[in-house]
Structure 1
Amino acid sequence: MKRLGIIGAMDEEVHILKGMMQDVSVETIASMEFNKGLFHGKEIVVVRSGIGKVNAAICTQILVDRYHVDAVVNTGVAGSLRNEIDIADIVLSTDAQQHDMDATGFGYDLGIIPRMERSVFEADRALLELAQSVCAEVIPEVGVHTGRVISGDQFISDGKKKEELVSNFDAYCTEMEGAAIAQTAYLNNLPFLIIRAISDKADHSAEMTYSEFEEIAIKNTVKLLSEFIKRI
């Protein structure tokens, strides 16, 4: 692999990685700052996309068209959708789907994108297996889970909404960008992986726990990514 793209929605999710890069050149496109440089001799492009699916999709397409990345990794935090997935645990995506794509008025199931051959986008198996291996070595004390990531333009902080997501989607966590990155990657035949650290339980306590545990969660993903990039 010649060049890896790494997307985080917020500065907090990428600033540590940016600080560890060497020979960095910076370019601003579509109000997004693309940081191209070396990380342990590997060429990477790190970018803060901004929050939400539109920003994430635009960012991914720029990585494809301008930087010709060979794969993309989405990193950041997420809300847990399962009791066994605790705060500061890691979720690695097997696939991703939008939970707020709603064409049920036309007879489609919730989450299905009309007139597309698929609505659930599979992560790259080799990237997933590498991430699993690295997790076992560098963060053995952290719970690591592998499953579906769902995304929507909503911060989930309501128990009723969480129950709806759990009943409609066989998902492990919810956030606001990953499925858009996955769909864009799929359309470009680009390997992808979503790596999310759990910052909250996606319920009434989400706002409080997010603020308290976001930093801890991000540090876990940085440990993982640092070794992941070395081996890619």
Structure 2
Amino acid sequence: MSKDLVVILTALNLEYQAVRRRMTSPQVHRHERGTRFEVGTVQGTSCRVALALTNKGNHSAAVIAERAIQEFSPVAVLFVGVAGALWETARLGDVVMATHVYAYHGGTSEDDGLKARPRVWEAPHAISQLGSHLARVNNWADETGGHGRPPQVRFGAIAAGEIVQNSKISAEAQWIRQHYNDALAIEMEAAGVAQAGHLNGAPVAIIRGISDRADGTKSSAKDRSWQPRAAANAAAFATRLAAELVEEQMQVSRSTAEKARSADRLEEHVNNTARNSTVGIMAGSVKDSNVYLNTDPKVTSPNDLIAELDGFRLHLMRHHAEGALDDDTCREALADLDSARRATRENTPESSKRAAMTLRRLRGLIADCPALVAKLAPLVVAAGGTA
């Protein structure tokens, strides 16, 4: 995962420009399939943003969102732009951050009418909590510049469909009122982005500035007045949220690194003590100058060693999840572990040598993680190698 980068997607060019104005030194990044991103830094922060235009609709938004996730492995994906308000709760210029997203066009047509088949995606808890905090602090908005009261952040459901909604009395308006009457705003991309995030394990936040009422009063003249203001407000809140997300990720990484360093210092202290002193250990073992506390595996058969290798895989994956192993190292280490497992299963003198050689190579790969090296050393011995 890129610990300092957030993807921001927009559907309209004016929304794109509102975000881009808050970036410094944007550089073009082209996906191999032609999608164009601009990667820059949020002004005054260390947060990098990869910005792209999806165009209208849930389908195109989903494709570009998945492409962005695969390309950048971001901290989060934010979809930013304008939307229509469904209730008076959100006023023009306010920002709505989705607590959950409805795909409101799902249904089944039967003889007695159209029956709703709702699909919904909840916003990730951590992003919702951070958004609520920023709203309480309330220092994210620009000066109103004569536009009246400052914008407020509202939290609630957002309905995403495939049409521009601009009526109070249409069948679609009645459908939403009947089945999704807690939705604060309506738009055309959030469901696609939410689904892409769900399938790829990426946190997603939907942030919309209210530019119209979706009630028949929408017009080109009003759009020219309110869309830029609503887009600017959404961009202001979204870039602040992005910067805070990256800062939190950095804090987590620093904390994890400090814990790893503390564990390494403790292990080094124990090893040094073992080299220079006589150590009494309950239910433990000493091999050369390394001390293993209650971890020396009882390996009496190939099946025992396979079980220990499977257990070591879990430790390997945990260190990767905590950031102690990078993606490439983890991938190669898992490949070596699988190779050693297969060789052990063959249970011949030649395969035992292969298993030991592979585990020694694995030990070199993970040399920067002493805790893992300590766990692997007795398995190398058990496989027929030397510690």
Pairwise TM-score range, normalised by the shorter structure? 0.7 to 0.9
Gaps of 5+ in 1: 113-118
Distance 1:83 1:52, change over 3 A: same
1:160 aligns with 2:160: no
The alpha-carbon deviation at position 105 of structure 1 amounts to 4.4
1:97 aligns with 2:67: no
Of 116, 127, 146 in structure 2, the residue corresponding to residue 110 of structure 1 is 116
Q: Distance in 2 between matches of 1:10 and 1:186?
A: 23
Q: Distance in 2 between matches of 1:109 and 1:125?
A: 30
Q: TM-score scaled by structure 1?
A: 0.88
The alpha-carbon deviation at position 222 of structure 1 amounts to 2.3
The alpha-carbon deviation at position 31 of structure 1 amounts to 5.3
Bigger CA radius of gyration: 2
1:38 aligns with 2:50: no
1:171 aligns with 2:176: no
Q: Distance in 2 between matches of 1:111 and 1:34?
A: 35
Amino acid at match of 1:166: R
The alpha-carbon deviation at position 28 of structure 1 amounts to 3.9
> What is the number of equivalent residue pairs in this alignment?
226
Q: Which residue of 2 aligns with 1:217?
A: 230
Distance 1:78 1:16, change over 3 A: closer
Listed one character per residue, the Cα deviations across residues 142-161 of structure 1 (whole Å, up to 9, x for unaligned) are 23211111111111012223
The alpha-carbon deviation at position 206 of structure 1 amounts to 1.7
Amino acid at match of 2:202: L
Gaps of 5+ in 2: 142-148, 246-387
Of 79, 87, 92 in structure 2, the residue corresponding to residue 87 of structure 1 is 92
Q: Do the aligned residues in 2 keep the contact of 1:81 with 1:171 (CA within 8 Å)?
A: yes
Distance 1:195 1:111, change over 3 A: farther
Q: Do the aligned residues in 2 keep the contact of 1:150 with 1:173 (CA within 8 Å)?
A: yes
Q: Which residue of 1 aligns with 2:214?
A: 202
Backbone CA RMSD of aligned residues? 2.2
Identity of aligned residues (%): 22
SS at match of 1:66: helix
The alpha-carbon deviation at position 212 of structure 1 amounts to 2.5
Q: Do the aligned residues in 2 keep the contact of 1:157 with 1:207 (CA within 8 Å)?
A: no
**Which structure carries more strand by proportion?**
1
Q: Do the aligned residues in 2 keep the contact of 1:21 with 1:38 (CA within 8 Å)?
A: yes
Q: Which residue of 2 aligns with 1:115?
A: none
Larger deviation, residues 4-13 vs 28-37: 28-37
Q: Distance in 1 between matches of 2:107 and 2:139?
A: 40
Q: Distance in 2 between matches of 1:177 and 1:10?
A: 11
Distance 1:230 1:69, change over 3 A: closer
**Which structure carries more helix by proportion?**
2
Q: Distance in 1 between matches of 2:174 and 2:123?
A: 25
Larger deviation, residues 13-22 vs 88-97: 13-22
Listed one character per residue, the Cα deviations across residues 195-223 of structure 1 (whole Å, up to 9, x for unaligned) are 11111111110235333311111121122
Structure scoring higher RCO (CA < 8 A, sep ≥ 6) equals 1
The alpha-carbon deviation at position 190 of structure 1 amounts to 1.2
Distance 1:217 1:111, change over 3 A: farther
Q: Which residue of 2 aligns with 1:17?
A: 19
Q: Which residue of 1 aligns with 2:311?
A: none
Q: Do the aligned residues in 1 keep the contact of 2:94 with 2:230 (CA within 8 Å)?
A: yes
Q: Distance in 1 between matches of 2:82 and 2:6?
A: 20
SS at match of 2:183: coil
Of 10, 29, 33 in structure 2, the residue corresponding to residue 8 of structure 1 is 10
Q: Which residue of 2 aligns with 1:191?
A: 203
